[in-house]
Amino acid sequence: METKLINGEYKTRDQVVIENIGLVEKVANRYEQAGKPSGFEFEDLCSIGTIGLIKAFYVFDGSAGNQFSTYAYSKIRGEITIALANGHDRGVRYPKNIKEKAVTIKRRNLQDESIEIIAEALEISEQMAKTALEYLNLGKALSLDETVKSIKQQEERTYHEHIGANQDYSMVVVKDFLNRLRPREKELTIALMNGLSSTDVARRWGVSKTVPYNHLKRIRPKLQAYIGEGAIAVVK
């Protein structure tokens, strides 16, 4: 995993996010009342602020000796204020019951089974099983079970609990980025993340192999612009 120089030490993205949960909460707490008229809860603002924190990690230049927290604060605040101005969170949330079913699917090692088998095993509708599986497939499999201190509740919680019903921050970023793509670009990206090849997608669409390839060429610079020069390879 990529590391960056943060306050004199080389750290991974995971480490930086976990260490700066308190900063995200501090900013979210400041805007909690302002977010309520638009339907934003404290946890929603934390999720949105985390997007800003991750962006800060990728574009921060620690070689100049600047403090990361100062830079990250502006990114976190900016992401939250933009969301409040738009009046929505650009699709970073999934219903709580979907998240819970997704966790159950993972715990029971059902993620590689068919929608029908998952639905039967969990005694849920196939549509719910499909949505829960999408939640798992869009998120990156990260282990974020370390405890962090919640400044609002003053208790130890895992990062998953902090962000809400086992939602990891890679999921937040990926979902946010996907919602900025055109429909075909979004469909192609999800297909590639789910293990399909460009040839598979072309066959599904009933077009030549060059069509997905041309879409992919347009997606890459969008991803780079979204996160910065240190962008993770969501699409290869």
Judge contact between 164 and 25, C-beta under 8 A. Answer: no
Same domain, 39 and 79: yes
Range 46-61 average pLDDT: 88
Domain that holds residue 74: 3-86
Cα–Cα dist 184/190, whole Å: 10
Structural domain contains residue 109:
yes
Same domain, 80 and 124: no
How far is it, in rounded angstroms, from Cα 108 to Cα 100? 12
DSSP letter string, 33-84: HHHGGGT--HHHHHHHHHHHHHHHHHH--GGG---HHHHHHHHHHHHHHHHH
Between 224 and 34, name the one with better pLDDT. Answer: 34
CATH number, residue 34? 1.10.1740.10
Total count of domains within the chain:
3
Q: What is the DSSP letter of 230?
A: T
219 shares a domain with 191: yes
Indicate whether 79 and 17 sit together in one domain: yes
Cα(114)–Cα(102) distance, rounded to whole angstroms? 14
Question: What's the predicted TM-score (pTM) here?
Answer: 0.47
Mean pLDDT of the chain: 75
* Across 91-113, average pLDDT: 77
Residues 186 and 218 in one domain: yes
Read off the pLDDT of residues 129-187 as tens digits, 9 standing for 90 and up: 888 887 776 543 333 334 444 444 444 444 444 444 334 445 555 666 777 888 888 88
